[in-house]
Homo-oligomer: A and B are copies of this chain.
Amino acid sequence: MKTYRHDVVVHWGDTDPAGIVFYPNYFEWFDQSTRLFWDSLGLDWDSLAKKYGIVGLPIIEAKARFIAPSMFRDEIVVETHISKWNDKTFEVSHAVLNRGVRAVEGYEIRVWAQKRPDDPGRLKAVPIPEEIKAAFE
């Protein structure tokens, strides 16, 4: 099973008056890591759009548990892997490591979706092709 490592530097503007990372930033880093992971396998959204007619990988759920704070100048790693394949959705899990300690863990659930032929303003979830799942093994 493939894992992606996304290195992130905690900048001054990412932290709050308590001196720690303001929590929505972790979700921004999750989103980045998911995208970089897929790109690293040649599965960028533009290519997927052309080949499968899907529209990005829309998010339908996100969750994080904050175990230990990270601070200005910390160099953290977001470790990302696909933790579950469903028929039309998948769960991508993220763990933030700070000096080897698990600081945050969470996941995103994203959907494999196309525009509805009868109403392009709306999306329709469709089954994820097997070769996509295989690419992450």
Contacts and interface: CB of A to CB of B under 8 A. Distances in A.
A63 B66 contact: no
Nearest to A34: B12
Interface string A63-98: 111110000110000000000000000000000000
Interface residues of A, number: 34
A124 B13 CA distance: 24
A8 to B, nearest CB: 11
Stoichiometry (number of copies): 4
Select the residue from A23, A58, A63, A72 with max chain B CB neighbours within 10 A: A23
Given A11-B28, A22-B31, A60-B67, 7 more contacts: A13-B31, A18-B55, A23-B31, A39-B73, A58-B66, A59-B66, A62-B63
